[in-house]
């Protein structure tokens, strides 16, 4: 499992780096910035924009895979086993993660098709 995390986080860094570099190069090649259709066409004509999109997609799916397999109770175990301090920052971070999981679960439930009780 450790190899999974090492490879996963290396892939995540690679995808994120690809995205940032692609955005930088696309922006440099699309200068000067103008608020017109010609500039948008010039921007979307840059192959680096599509590199950024691919990087974001790769980072998203890599991150979701890592989160799917990540142990949730690591913070509690580290307090119990290693006597690490449980700070307000750690609790706030854990609460934010749990809130995100709840939001994803609610969104998935709301997106599921609803069936009436009499339908088969």
- 2-55 pLDDT per residue, tens: 788 889 889 999 999 999 999 999 989 888 988 999 889 988 999 999 999 999
Has residue 91 been placed in a domain?
yes
Q: What is the mean pLDDT of the chain?
A: 85
Tell me: do 89 and 57 sit in the same domain: no
Tell me: do 7 and 44 sit in the same domain: yes
Listed in sequence order, the residues at least 6 apart from 69 whose beta carbon sits closer than 8 Å to its beta carbon are 1, 4
Has residue 103 been placed in a domain?
yes
pLDDT confidence tier of residue 71, bands split at 50, 70 and 90: low
Tell me: do 48 and 79 sit in the same domain: no
Q: What is the domain count for the chain?
A: 2
Answer with the residue of higher pLDDT: 117 or 55: 55
Q: Please tell me the predicted confidence (pLDDT) of residue 75.
A: 78
pTM across the whole model: 0.57
Could you report how far apart the first and last alpha carbons of the chain are, in Å? 42
């Amino acid at each position: 499992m450790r190899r999974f995390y090492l490879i996963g986080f290396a892939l995540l860094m690679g995808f994120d780096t690809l995205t940032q570099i692609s955005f930088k190069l696309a922006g440099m090649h699309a200068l000067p910035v103008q608020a017109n259709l010609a500039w948008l066409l010039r921007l979307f004509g840059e192959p680096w924009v599509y590199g950024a999109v691919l990087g974001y997609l790769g980072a998203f799916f890599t991150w979701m895979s890592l989160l799917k397999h990540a142990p949730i109770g690591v913070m509690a175990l580290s307090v119990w086993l290693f006597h690490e301090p449980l700070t307000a920052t750690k609790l706030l971070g854990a609460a934010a993660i749990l809130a995100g999981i709840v939001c994803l679960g609610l969104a998935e439930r709301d997106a599921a098709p609803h069936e009436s009780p009499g339908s088969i």
